[in-house]
Amino acid sequence: MRSISKKCIGVLTSGGDCPGLNAVIRGVVKSSNQLGYDCVGFLQGYEGLHDPVRYKTLTPKNTTGILNQGGTILGSTNKGRFAATVGVSDRVEIDPELLAGVKTTVEQLGIEGLVCVGGDGSLAIAQQFHEYGIPVVGVPKTIDNDLSSTAFTFGFDSAIECATNALDRLHTTAASHGRIMVLEVMGRHAGWIALHAGIAGGGDVILLPEIPWTWENVCHKVLSRESQGKQFTLVVVAEGAALPDGRGVGKEQSGRQAQLGGIGQIVAEEIERRLQRETRVCVLGHLQRGGAPTTFDRVLATQYGAHAVRLIVEGKLGEMVCYQPPDIMSVPITEAVNQLRQVDPNSSAVQAARALGISFGNSTADSSPFAFRSATDHRSGQGLSRRETVETDAAFALDLVEAATEEALA
Ligand SMILES: Nc1ncnc2c1ncn2[C@@H]1O[C@H](COP(=O)(O)OP(=O)(O)OP(=O)(O)O)[C@@H](O)[C@H]1O
Ligand SMILES: O=P(O)(O)OC[C@H]1O[C@](O)(CO)[C@@H](O)[C@@H]1O
Ligand SMILES: [Mg+2]
């Protein structure tokens, strides 16, 4: 254990990794060092906080050169003993003995505040720490960009850069062969990656968790492109989008959230079956989470790290830093995790996409692309409460898709 003669700040990275985690760590270390704090980083997310305690002392010297490195030098996990929300159920209480153990670790190390870098699930754990009296602040991370109260989580920009690059590449090969290409991207509850990459990469059909779609409309788009002399079509589908019959595609995992994936294959096979057109699928998977952060994510992550330290110094425990352009602000962690931020089907971005003729697989809206509504008309419906999301998860778990894969194709 370190000597506690000097004040100290702790940091950990939790949940699915993403580009920019190291930039946050560096931001925390450098800015806390300037203020005279020591810094420790716990290993493997929350797991390193107790039994056994695993951490390393972080200094400006040993964190040098990590700004542009993907992954996290502290390690991360999206499973373990601290589940605060799991798959189909709502809030899960963390074992009080674990919480007591964590509190002891934090006190023994003289930690004034613990910076918890995570997505919705990991910040739900931080919220329970806060309620127990463990001094935490949150930093919003996830490629899915589905946390409310912040315009962007870091990692998202890097993920859409990767997905856009993939679409650029698929575009040329699709055009050369006159094929339909389906790109499956990540996005558990929210279709931000599919939407942004789809627009940036010239997608023709974008299928999201937020917008129900039909096979007929997807196929209609392919045929209407052909009638314009375009022999190829790019389809982008979020892994969390449901099939037209409402079922999700993935596999159940015990004690943790379902592993999504596979909808791209189903979409490709069904288009091919219905239209007799050569259709191929590309699953981008973890390429979206790896590699160096974009410039935007480096700047955002660095700001998040520095402002998380500021929150601790100002005694704003239980708060999460957030980006409300042009400022980095803070909100109670509970506010950010109780409401997921989903794509609003009437948002400006979706409207613009429709205006260009991009299909979201639902004909009503597709047929009137210029029926724009003012920005204020549609804000009330935005977001999905934690409970509604859990119900969606429950539906996923009930119909999981070994069976669906075959049935959807029948
Ligand atoms: N130590 C742990 N013990 C148990 N579960 C954990 C632990 N750390 C993280 N998790 C779980 O991992 C999952 C993913 O974490 P989080 O939501 O923070 O990341 P994410 O990037 O948003 O990923 P996802 O989209 O998969 O939720 C959450 O369900 C969270 O509760
Ligand atoms: O790598 P894992 O554990 O399969 O997690 C995948 C999930 O994590 C995320 O990438 C978010 O971090 C989701 O988009 C995806 O559903
Ligand atoms: Mg999450």
What is the interface pTM, i.e. ipTM, of the complex? 0.95
The conformation of residue 111, written as its DSSP 8-state character, comes to E
Q: Is 145 in the pocket of ligand 1 (CB under 6 A)?
A: no
122 is in an annotated binding site: yes
| 237-269: b (≥16 Cβ within 10 Å) or e | bbbbbbbbeebbbbebeeeebbebbbbbbbbbb
Region 295-301 average pLDDT: 98
- Listed in order, the ranges of the chain carrying CATH 3.40.50.450 are 8-154+293-338
pLDDT bucket at 363, cuts 50 / 70 / 90: confident
Q: In what helix (H) or strand (E) does residue 136 lie, and over which residues does it extend?
A: strand 136-140
pLDDT at 263 (0 to 100): 98
- Listed in order, the ranges of the chain carrying CATH 3.40.50.460 are 159-289+344-356
Most informative mutation of 13, 14, 76, 85 for ligand 1 (most atoms within 8 A of CB)? 14
Q: Is the pLDDT of residue 94 over 50?
A: yes
| Tokens standing for residue 222 | 């392919």
Instruction: Indicate the CATH number of 8-154+293-338 among 3.30.210.10, 3.40.50.450, 2.160.10.10, 3.40.50.11890.
Output: 3.40.50.450
The Cα 35–Cα 39 span in angstroms is 11
Distance (Å) from CA 259 to ligand 2 centroid:
8
Using CA atoms, how far residue 317 sits from 137, 142, 155, 216, 224, in Å, is 5, 21, 24, 51, 55
Task: Check: CB of residue 114 under 8 Å from CB of residue 74.
Answer: no
Active-site residue set: 144
Most informative mutation of 259, 284, 286, 389 for ligand 2 (most atoms within 8 A of CB)? 259
298 is in an annotated binding site: no
User: Which residue reads 């069904």 in tokens?
Assistant: 270
What is the residue with the minimal CA distance to atom 4 of ligand 2? 259
Let me know how long the chain is: 410
**388-394 CB contacts, 8 Å cutoff, 24+ apart:** 389/189, 389/340, 390/85, 390/88, 390/89, 390/90, 392/189, 393/87, 393/88, 393/257, 393/258, 394/88
Using CA atoms, how far residue 203 sits from 225, 272, 273, in Å, is 12, 18, 21
What is the residue with the minimal CA distance to atom 23 of ligand 1? 16
Q: Is 209 in the pocket of ligand 1 (CB under 6 A)?
A: no
Q: 159-289+344-356 — its CATH code?
A: 3.40.50.460
Distance (Å) from CA 14 to ligand 1 centroid:
7
pLDDT bucket at 373, cuts 50 / 70 / 90: very low
Q: Is the pLDDT of residue 390 over 80?
A: no
Helix or strand or coil: residue 98? Answer: helix
**pLDDT tens-digit profile of 143-155?**
999 999 999 999 9
In DSSP terms, 330 is beta-bridged to 321
**pLDDT tens-digit profile of 99-135?**
999 999 999 999 999 999 999 999 999 999 999 999 9
